[in-house]
Chains A and B, each alone.
Chain A
Amino acid sequence: MKGLMYVVILLVSFHSAATNVASDFFSKPDVISAHLAPNGQSVALITNSIDKPLIEIFDVESKTSKPVFDFESIKKNDVRVLNATWLGSRYLALEVGLEVRGVENLLDTKHKVDYLIVDSYATADKPKAYGIKAKGVIIDPLNADDEHFMFAKYGANSRIYKLKVAKLNRYGKKFSKLDRPDGGQLKKKNQTVSVEGAVVRWFLAENGEVDSVLYFKRGEGMRLAEIEKGEVTTEIHAWLTTREAKDRRKKQARKNKKAKKRGDDPVIDQALNLSDITKTRFVPVKKADTTSRFFGVNLESEGNIQTIYLIDYDKLEYKPVYESAAYRITDFVPSEDGKRLASVNLVMDGQAFTDYLDENGNSTLLSSDNLRMEVGSSVDGKVTLDYVENVNNAGRYHLTLDGKETVIASRYPKLDNLAKIELVKSKIQSDELEVEYFLTLPESSDKAPLVVMPHGGPIGVFDSHYFDAGTRFLNEQGYAVLRVNYRGSGGYSKDFIDAGKKQFGVGILKDIVNATNDVLKRDDIDASSVCIAGMSYGGYAATMLTLQHPDIFKCGATVAGVSDVYLTANNTRLSNRQFEWVKEHIGDADTEKEHLLSISPVYLTENLSRPLLVVHGTKDKIVDIEHAYRLKYVLDKNQKDYEWLELENSGHQFEHESDLIQVFETLATFLAKHL
């Protein structure tokens, strides 16, 4: 009898380990980020406690973790760890974002960033943390020195100080009259560099010393200059003041008028083009290969596209070296010789990625099956820490010591035992464009039903073939999932993004259908069991293709989807700049009304012959709930088969975990009914 019980318990536990529920896929990650100490002996893990981060230190030798700092102790609301840097091997400097409410309803001082320096030798019950009161930035953690770091103080005149951690004030502790801010360390004795002006950015040489600086000089505008022995020496570039720029513009206009009369080409003043800070603001961010060449950005917004430029301030030339249409560029690293970019850090849907670039500057983000990013290495190079993610791995941190690799943390521990599934990457020709798709097949199925999941956007966004919670959840339900990087998707080239302009209801849908037809030729896909589901633009595509291709799609699901493109093109929540972007990329409501109507599902539902699932959040500010209700109205009017889920107080991204879980559970039930 006992033996039988053991078998039953074993079977039950095996079953529970093998089957994941929606909440396992759509909850917050357990580990937010990991940071290796310079001596390679410990790793700081920023983890999600109940609703505040918790800092744990993983000891590499003993392979055990201990909590060292719990944010509950600082009694602040909405705490987020934005970044973490080891200052030597004992102290961990955290950039912490705090919500500070303004007076009553005036949310003026909404976000504040504090430095919090945590002692990794302490424990969570007796935490030890220091704060920096002065406004500034840690510019060099001095990895070989456990006690000190270099701090650049902002101000009308900017200084760099060498500070001792143990002398700083304890974080959150009230000051007494005898306490001096930052332990009284911001004094000339500790000063290493001084600049008469407000420094915007410091540039460090390989040896960690400051060798150039971007700063505002009082009455003279912005300057880029070299630094030697702690002081400004040679000026690399001077930006024009407003008055200078105005004079030069007038001069250029006069010259061009004369040139036009003579029939000559117009004259372009490169100084104006590059350094008129009132117009184009090319600002250096990192040093390139020579004293006058920098990688930088143009602070003048360029719509949705963010670009990194290689700027030569000597020749007054610049050229784009990296572009991201939809994802935020947070940082980048030049190659060792400074001639090109080595990698770019991006944030996609709240998760950080690194895009490593090949020697020609091309993205490798979609070229490897495995996303592997080095997130740290010890000073001696013996220990490395990598973040690894792929279709079967929801994200883990791998520590390599003496060639031996160990997993030390998982972002989603509940998904550690996912079955290994197959990923198929392929390309099709669609209107002379090469369109890539990713097909993930469920664990064991001779002929799997297929769910096509077009991504949102549609412009500049793309699907990666690494881990995707929504896709993998459906794979676990026994479906093959197809994702298509249709024209307009990011991650490939600017031309490919541009190919998506005004293809909202035309070329993009064609790409999705072409990719689906390609997949349906496979023996392991059941061509008679195909549904299409998507969020935002993906929801629009799902509705349109269910309407247009009942021969392929047995059902469709639109989640926060557009149903009236004319309404989108008239959206009053769009700023003037966004409104212009919509005109250019989707269509102009004034001049292309008939076209926008012809690609809007609400005016076409008479032809719908397949069931539809409509899901929308009432607080959606991107695609208003009116889209869902318009669709509902016409579905009712035309007596069509549909299911409806309205989520009270949910936004476009279904920010509350429970809402996202409900969306996917509803989708799974809908698919199970129709496939």
Chain B
Amino acid sequence: MKKFIALLALLMALLTPYSASAKKRPPIKLQSIEEATTQPQRIKESEGWVLVHIDASSPAPSIDVQRLIRRVEDANTLPSGKKIKPCMTCLDTNISLKNLNPGYYVFPLASGVYQITSFNVPFYGLPYIQDTDKDRRFRFRVRGGAITYIGHIEMQKERTSNDADIAYLDRYATAYNELESIVNQLNFGQPFFHGYGTETLFQMETIEGSR
């Protein structure tokens, strides 16, 4: 038994450098609505467009996200608060928010439920990382072949050495009219969804009226 445990530990130690959390995909570049409209990009069938509002004025802000499950439909049946096993083969994705004017941005991402694992707000040589990998409030869903609004990310430039003003908020109703007009402007011919959190409660209850 002891030998088995030792072997298992050795195997795990060997595999760790190759695990999803240790590796990252190259940073994703966000496109402004204007760029996305004038230079439309082709995406894979399994991917969807993420629509997000960014207000990040710090010098080099970024977020890390990790896919937890592949199928969004699975998330809809998940009871709130149920622990989700991360997708072991999926890589962490770094999304750089550097030099972005406040506004809406789009980028392609594979279908699935994602966890924002950290917010990074460095001030030149002074790092600040807020880990959110174990907090289910920092999740969003992306549907393949659709445009999904995932919320509002705020990272203020003014910070102290050990704290920063960071927020990830659902502004679906606040931005509703704006979102409709952006989706029309993008003209991707894809359906539009609300993907903040693991369930579209407000949308389901009110806008879609499915409850």
Contact = CB atoms under 8 A, between A and B. Distances in A.
Do chains A and B interact in one complex? yes
Interface of A: 102, 105-108, 110, 564, 566-567, 570-573, 576, 579, 588-591, 593, 597, 602-603, 621, 624-626, 629-630, 632-634, 637
A625 B137 CA distance: 18
Contacts of B138: 572
Given A107-B158, A602-B206, A573 B201 contact: no
A128 B54 CA distance: 51
Interface in B123-175: 123, 126, 135, 137-138, 157-161, 167-174
Given A567-B170, A629-B173, A603 B205 contact: yes
A105 B158 contact: yes
Contacts of B206: 602-603, 630, 633-634, 637
B191 interface: no
B81 A624 contact: no
B205 A629 contact: no
5 contacts: A105-B123, A107-B158, A589-B81, A626-B172, A634-B206
Given A589-B81, A626-B174, 15 more contacts: A105-B157, A106-B158, A106-B161, A107-B158, A107-B160, A110-B160, A570-B137, A570-B197, A572-B138, A572-B167, A572-B168, A597-B201, A602-B202, A630-B202, A633-B206
A630 B173 contact: yes
Given A108-B160, A572-B168, A626 B173 contact: yes
B94 interface: no
A572 B80 contact: no
Contacts of A625: 171, 174
A603 B206 CA distance: 7
Contacts of A107: 158-160
Contacts of B201: 566, 597
A489 to B, nearest CB: 29
A564 B202 contact: yes
B4 interface: no
B63 to A, nearest CB: 13
A520 to B, nearest CB: 34
A181 B67 CA distance: 60
A547 B169 CA distance: 27
A610 to B, nearest CB: 20
B159 to A, nearest CB: 7
Given A572-B138, A626-B169, A633 B176 contact: yes
A597 B81 contact: no
Interface string B177-209: 000000000000000000001000110011100
A280 B44 CA distance: 56
Contacts of A576: 135
A108 B174 contact: no
Most chain A beta-carbon neighbours within 10 Å: one of B58, B159, B171, B173: B173
A620 to B, nearest CB: 11
Given A626-B169, A632-B173, A106 B202 contact: no
A630 B206 CA distance: 9
B125 to A, nearest CB: 11
Contact of A572 (B137, B157, B158): B137
4 closest A-B pairs by beta carbon, nearest first, are A590-B81, A629-B173, A629-B174, A630-B173
A608 to B, nearest CB: 14
Most chain A beta-carbon neighbours within 10 Å: one of B138, B170, B207: B170
A629 B161 contact: no
A624 B169 contact: yes
B80 A593 contact: yes
B167 A589 contact: no
B98 to A, nearest CB: 15
Nearest to B138: A572
Contacts of B167: 572-573, 621
Nearest to B59: A105
A621 B123 CA distance: 23
Interface in B72-103: 79-81
Given A590-B81, A593-B80, A630-B202, A106 B170 contact: no
Contacts of B81: 588-591
Nearest to A624: B169
Nearest to B174: A629
A571 B80 CA distance: 15
Given A572-B138, A589-B80, A629-B176, A106 B160 contact: yes
Contacts of A590: 79-81
Nearest to B201: A566
Contacts of B58: 105
Contacts of B171: 624-626, 629
Contacts of A632: 173
A108 B159 CA distance: 8
Contacts of B173: 626, 629-630, 632-633
Nearest to A632: B173
A625 B172 CA distance: 11
Contacts of B197: 570
A11 B61 CA distance: 64
Contacts of A621: 167
Nearest to B57: A105
B138 to A, nearest CB: 7
B205 A597 contact: yes
A70 to B, nearest CB: 30
A632 B206 CA distance: 12
Nearest to B156: A105
Nearest to B161: A108
A334 B205 CA distance: 56
A566 B202 CA distance: 10
A107 B158 CA distance: 6
A576 B171 CA distance: 22
A111 to B, nearest CB: 11
Interface string B11-30: 00000000000000000000
B205 A105 contact: no
